Structure 1
């Protein structure tokens, strides 16, 4: 299974969500996971290297790579039928190298915020994804949401985004998200993130068929 996490807008929270999902899948459900870190900053790969220096055993492999290398890596990934590959995508839409990655995805997750620039980028990302790959379900996660802020355009934004896929429970804006690593998600964060991660897992990734 290939899970793509993307948005044209940089800073939408793709890398943090990638870590959250990878940690959840490996620790809560014991799925073998590989992360392909294709973001320009490669912050996940840097965290993986830091974990090695600190002698913390990573929960999964992190492969720093770029879009050009993806077609070759796909050949390797496809042979590991039981593994889940999570693609942390770069924040751009003007590279033809995106096409093979989007086309290969079995499931697409798009974190977004309610500010104007992020919403525009999210809609553009959704339109491109639908044109390239209309078989993979796409879900949207409101991210870095401030509980004390009233988002005036929230209803209008969600109405547009739902044309491309469902919006699932949001993730809040919390400073301790910076403590997430490739070997753990701090326990204090689990009550906050489980509603979102359980929804992804139970309703989309491994939905049980009704009897």
Structure 2
């Protein structure tokens, strides 16, 4: 299964949730391969740093690839019987090859927040998905949500997003997510993400 994490805006939790979701699936005993397409090599750099810092053995591999080469990677992966390819898209979507990725996806996960700037970028990302007529199941992941803040447009935003895909449970703001690494997920962090990630796993049919 091909699972893509994407949004047009950086800082919405795309890369962090990509890594945490890979950790979560691995913890459940599922086969995972992560493809880092971010121009900043965020996941690759983090994996290298994590290996230097922690004693834990990696439970899955992280690869990097050029956008222009990703079609071949996807073709090769589709020849594998089992497993989940998790792709971290670049924050900037301006390359024709990204259409190949989105159309190949089985699941698209779009982390977002309820602030205006993030919602504007999320709206642009939705337009791209609709323009490409992708068939993937789309999940909107409310991320880094502050319990002390009253989001006045929250219900309106959810009602709009639910016409396009599934809105998962919220992941609250927590320093535990900021300390995430690519080698393991703590029990406390699993509790934070469980509701949202289980929704993606169960409704997305991830095996």
Provide TM-score, normalisation by structure 2: 0.93
1:194 shift after superposition: 0.9
1:92 shift after superposition: 1.8
Aligned to 1:7: 7
Distance in 1 between the 2:96 and 2:206 partners? 31
Distance in 2 between the 1:202 and 1:74 partners? 23
**Which structure has more strand as a fraction of its residues?**
2
Aligned to 1:31: 30
Kindly indicate whether the alpha-carbon contact (under 8 Å) linking 2:139 and 2:167 is maintained by their aligned counterparts in 1: yes
Q: Secondary structure at the match of 2:151?
A: coil
1:147 shift after superposition: 0.7
- Structure 1 runs of 4+ with >6 Å offset: none
Q: Secondary structure at the match of 2:95?
A: coil
1:66 shift after superposition: 2.7
1:151-183 Cα offsets, whole Å, 9 max, x none, are 011122222222211211011111121222121
Distance in 2 between the 1:9 and 1:153 partners? 19
1:51 shift after superposition: 3.1
Distance in 2 between the 1:133 and 1:51 partners? 38
1:56 shift after superposition: 2.9
Distance in 1 between the 2:171 and 2:160 partners? 20
The root-mean-square deviation of aligned C-alpha atoms, in Å, is 1.6
Provide TM-score, normalisation by structure 1: 0.91
- The count of corresponding residues between Structure 1 and Structure 2 is 206
Q: Secondary structure at the match of 2:145?
A: coil
Aligned to 1:117: 117
Q: Secondary structure at the match of 1:56?
A: coil
Aligned to 1:137: 137
Distance in 2 between the 1:3 and 1:34 partners? 10
Instruction: Give structure 1 stretches of 5+ with no counterpart.
Output: none
Structural mapping, 1:1-211, within 5 Å: 1-28=1-28, 30-54=29-53, 55-206=55-206
Q: Secondary structure at the match of 1:98?
A: helix
Distance in 2 between the 1:110 and 1:95 partners? 18
Q: Secondary structure at the match of 2:167?
A: coil
Kindly indicate whether the alpha-carbon contact (under 8 Å) linking 2:103 and 2:135 is maintained by their aligned counterparts in 1: no
1:38 shift after superposition: 0.7
Q: Secondary structure at the match of 1:144?
A: strand
1:87 shift after superposition: 0.5
